[in-house]
Amino acid sequence: INDIQNFPLLEALQALNELPGVVIWSRGEDMTLEDGRTVAVFTFDLDLASLVGSQEFVNALSEALLPLVAQMGGEGGDMFSDPSTISFILSLVLSQLSDQLSASTAQLSVWISPEDNLIYGLSSVVDVTLDLGFLMSLAPGAADSGSASTGPITFALDFQAVLDQHNGSFTVEAPAEFEPLDTSSLNFDLSNILENAGVSLGGGEDAEPSAPTADTAEFDITAGQESTGALSDSNPNDLYRFEGTAGSVVTITMKKIDDSSNLDPYLKLYDADGNLLAENDDATDVVEGLGFLDSQIAQFTLPSDGSYVIEVSALFIPDNGDYSLLVETD
């Protein structure tokens, strides 16, 4: 079992082994699958009553609830801001649940091939019945309110899956003769669809009628300067010009300011003559302060002295929203 890697459910069950009597695992009779493969069958029985009634479970649940109580801003009273009080109340509730779970069943079976330590089958049986009416008795005045229990809640699961395919290396022989795909009609149809929908792709090779140059740039920006702007249907892109020297390393960052907008920032960097040097849709590295849609051309080495042009736009045009642009040099 310890050789089975990267299987979260088994890892969780193994972690519960530290709690006495919570997980009992055993090996049953080997099973022969339809393909003739023999697999070992391991069964895990989870004692829900022991788990819920353990002090470790109470402590873990208390720690999880404390941040939620703090967010309530004291609406539950000072007593609920005390960890020991929360732990005590949970102990009462979970003790009642533990008694009810004593007749419940939770079992997982795993079929493992001794040849490659891969899992070839799973089966699970869960049967839980709870009556939460006791919670009413814990509420002040509930005994006189005439509230009635909604009755027992039953949850049943009987699941089985056979996993007969696994990732691996395969060799596929290409056909000796083939007819090349005619992409002209595909490109034509796709262009018509996008044009009729009023949408263009900012990242496409032919998305711009002409590449921006230093002469067509609208704004100037310098290293260390942060500029802001807005993209809209009538203004789908902005062009910024900056001066650079050969060998300088620049990082250009475009972020959307309003998280509620549909703007998906897109960056392009050109030389003075309109040659595309770099582009980015979503930042490839995890950077503090960057959203997953924000764009960043990181650590780009300028090839020569002169002017450079930054085009800020959106992946899908039109996309509306405010943005910020920052140019940094090492």
**Angstrom distances, CA of residue 92 to CA of 85, 131, 150:** 11, 15, 20
Those residues of the chain that have pLDDT short of 50 are 1, 5, 74-77, 79, 142-143, 145-148, 186, 188-190, 193, 202-208
pLDDT of residue 327: 94
What tokens appear for 203 in the block?
A: 């990242």
**Angstrom distances, CA of residue 250 to CA of 95, 238, 245, 307:** 61, 19, 10, 13
pLDDT of residue 14: 61
pTM above 0.75, yes or no: no
What tokens appear for 157 in the block?
A: 């699961």
**Sign of the torsion formed by the C-alpha atoms of 100, 101, 103 and 104:** positive
Give the count of beta carbons closer than 10 Å to the beta carbon of residue 162. Answer: 13
Q: What is the pLDDT of residues 26-47, one digit of tens each?
A: 888 998 888 788 889 988 888 8
3-state secondary structure of 242: strand
pLDDT of residue 36: 84
pLDDT of residue 6: 52
pLDDT of residue 79: 47
For 200-329, CATH gives 2.60.120.380
pLDDT of residue 252: 94
**Angstrom distances, CA of residue 318 to CA of 118, 144, 195, 233, 313:** 49, 62, 12, 5, 9
| Domain ranges, ordered by start, for the chain | 8-162, 200-329
Q: How far apart are CA 296 and CA 25, in angstroms?
A: 51
pLDDT of residue 188: 47
